[in-house]
Amino acid sequence: METSDSIVMRCFTIKYFKSVSSASSVFYSYLHDSTIPLFHFLIIPDSVNFADKHSTYMTIILVIVTSLISIVCFSKPDFMAQLQFNPYRVYHKKEWYRLVTHGFLHANWFHLIINMFVLFTFGTAVENYFKQLNTADIVKYPNINFLLLYFGGIIISSLTTLKKHRNNYPYNAVGASGAVSAIVFTSIFFNPLHTLILYFIPLPAILAGILYLVYSHYMSKRGGDNINHDAHFLGAVFGFIFPLLIDFKLINIFLQQLNIL
């Protein structure tokens, strides 16, 4: 019988491990409470290989459903008010569903398009990584793992905000940034040396990710820009450790990509 260690090493040989995303894409720091969103952090992969045969319909479904709900709410503010993340109502009124539903809302077209573009490009990559793990008998249900990552990112990224603003009734938040940050950092876990462009500077993905975390932490402490940096930070950390929650031996994949093993 093949051991877990040998499965991990077999999984990410040339036969299985391929980057899967279409053309250049954007990674951003783009989350707001209830006012004007701010686009302030840009990372673009230099090149990717759309060569994998696996289907990526879970990402497509999430993009379609999120887009439809967001577009409907553009013209129905009452509906948005019922679904947006209001920590006061979550904590005091026990409206826990808001921890999830706010991830399907966006403030405007620009906010929606950026989120869905990033979700599609990085989400398809992560779906394929999970399905490659399934091929190697490491992950039994890749689609379920992908959904756990996405919805876990939405919820986990909101916990600090819930604690900070549980008594702040006017505070509201919308957007899928926490979940998308989780998706991006899972892709960094599986391909840490892929080149990303940060402010026109090409960097290894792992370095760009570290700079992003440092920036998010700094801006969270600084405050004053109407952006939920805590959600970015928590979503990113959750996404990076998520493969280890599936199987801790997957750390060998990360180390192997860095040429440490």
Low-confidence ranges of the chain (pLDDT < 70): 1-54, 198, 226, 261
Neighbours of 40 (CB within 10 A): 12
Q: Which ranges constitute the DSSP H helices of 93-204?
A: 98-101, 109-135, 142-156, 159-165, 177-190
The reported pLDDT for the residue numbered 4 is 35
Please state, in angstroms and rounded to a whole number, the distance separating the CA atoms of residues 239 and 199: 23
The reported pLDDT for the residue numbered 5 is 37
Q: Is residue 160 a contact partner of residue 217, using CB atoms and an 8 Å limit? A: no
Please give the tally of structural domains in the chain.
1
Q: Is residue 235 a contact partner of residue 180, using CB atoms and an 8 Å limit? A: yes
Element (H, E) at 253: helix 251-257
Strand partners, 85: 173
Query: How far from the centroid of its chain's Cα atoms is residue 253's Cα?
Result: 20
Please state, in angstroms and rounded to a whole number, the distance separating the CA atoms of residues 185 and 192: 9
The reported pLDDT for the residue numbered 227 is 74
CATH at 203: 1.20.1540.10
Query: How far from the centroid of its chain's Cα atoms is residue 200's Cα?
Result: 22
The reported pLDDT for the residue numbered 17 is 38
Total residue count of the chain as it appears in this document: 261
HSE of 201, CA atoms in CB hemisphere, 13 A: 7
The reported pLDDT for the residue numbered 54 is 54
Dmax over Cα atoms in the chain, in whole Å?
A: 58
Q: By residue range, what is the domain housing residue 172?
A: 4-257
Please state, in angstroms and rounded to a whole number, the distance separating the CA atoms of residues 78 and 175: 17
Side by side, which strands form the sheet with 42-45? Answer: 27-28, 42-45, 195-198, 201-204
Strand partners, 45: 196
